[in-house]
Amino acid sequence: MRPKFVFALLLLALLVLGAALFLKQYLGNTASPPNPEIVAPAPVVSNVVAVAVPPPAPAPVAAAPAATNVLTPEQREAAIDAETDRLQDWSMNDDPASLSNILANLTSPEKEIREAAIEAAKQFDSTNAIPTLKAVAANTTDTEEQIALLEAANFLSLPDLPLGNQPTQTREQMKAAAQQARQAHQNRLQQGAQSQNPSSGTPSSPDQNAPAGPNQ
């Protein structure tokens, strides 16, 4: 083989190699920019993400002001406080929008808000919250929070203690009852607790001592 031919072949191979390297570098740059400062997402410290994903239920009112990582600790705490105050307010309402707002906060990135939302859901006292509480519990990795969510769901499944409406005694009657009981207590202390301990004898019957009321 002639030296000229060999030289030309080597030159051609170098050109092909150079072209390949150039193309690789060019295409690599366009596919994934190497500058991490441009694309690194800011850490999420608020429920901005939760708001960005549309919920299946009627869209709740924006639960909390967007507290991003530009907030100072004081501002962040103020935002949490404001939201927990709103949760307390919603818990005293009786409308679907308030419940929706409460349930939206069950997935807040702030633990304090999530805890307040669980308590607010209990106070709102609607069985409509049970499926959401269970669903959020199923997706929670925090064991304590999972327990709190499931306990809240169980709590809401219980019947309410009915609102009582007993006739009010007069101040004098109540004062007399209290004084009499204090005297009985002092006597019992002096005589020795064992002699009147309910566990060692017959417990006093509520029916014997209760003032006459509608339920007696």
Partner 1 sequence: MKLTKILMCALAVGAATFATSKVYAVPGPVTVSGTALSQDSKGGYDVAKKNKFTQKILLNILAQATGDSSITNKKTTVLYDPAAFNTKAYDSIEGYYFYGVFYYSNSVAGLKTLDGIDTNGDYYSYIELDYYNWLLDDIEGFWSGDSVEYNTIIGESKNKATVNGNALLYIHSNPYDYDLPDSDYYYANDWDGDYQPYAFVMHGPLKYGGSISGSTMTTTGKLSGSGDGLYDYNDLVVSGNASFKAKGPAPD
- Chain residues binding partner 1 by CB under 8 A are 73-74, 77, 81, 84, 88-89, 91-92, 119, 122-123, 125, 155-156, 158-166, 168-169, 171, 174-175, 177-182, 184-185, 188-189, 196, 198, 204, 206, 209-211, 213-216
CA distance 156 to 121: 9
Q: How far is the CB of 120 from partner 1 (least distance, A)?
A: 9
CA distance 132 to 201: 49
Of 69 and 180, which has the nearer Cβ to partner 1? 180
Cβ neighbours of residue 195 under 8 Å, at least 6 residues apart? Answer: 188
Q: How far is the CB of 110 from partner 1 (least distance, A)?
A: 15
Of 50 and 105, which has the nearer Cβ to partner 1? 105
Residue with tokens 């006093």: 204
Residue with tokens 């519990």: 137
Of 88 and 194, which has the nearer Cβ to partner 1? 88
Q: How far is the CB of 40 from partner 1 (least distance, A)?
A: 28
Of 50 and 153, which has the nearer Cβ to partner 1? 153
Q: How far is the CB of 195 from partner 1 (least distance, A)?
A: 13
Q: How far is the CB of 60 from partner 1 (least distance, A)?
A: 20
114: its two tokens: 């999530």
Of 13 and 112, which has the nearer Cβ to partner 1? 112
CA distance 151 to 137: 10
Q: How far is the CB of 100 from partner 1 (least distance, A)?
A: 19
Of 54 and 164, which has the nearer Cβ to partner 1? 164
The radius of gyration computed from the CA coordinates of the chain, to the nearest angstrom, equals 35
Cβ neighbours of residue 111 under 8 Å, at least 6 residues apart? Answer: 142, 145
CA distance 91 to 156: 13
Beta carbons of 108 and 117 less than 8 angstroms apart:
yes
Beta carbons of 114 and 147 less than 8 angstroms apart:
no
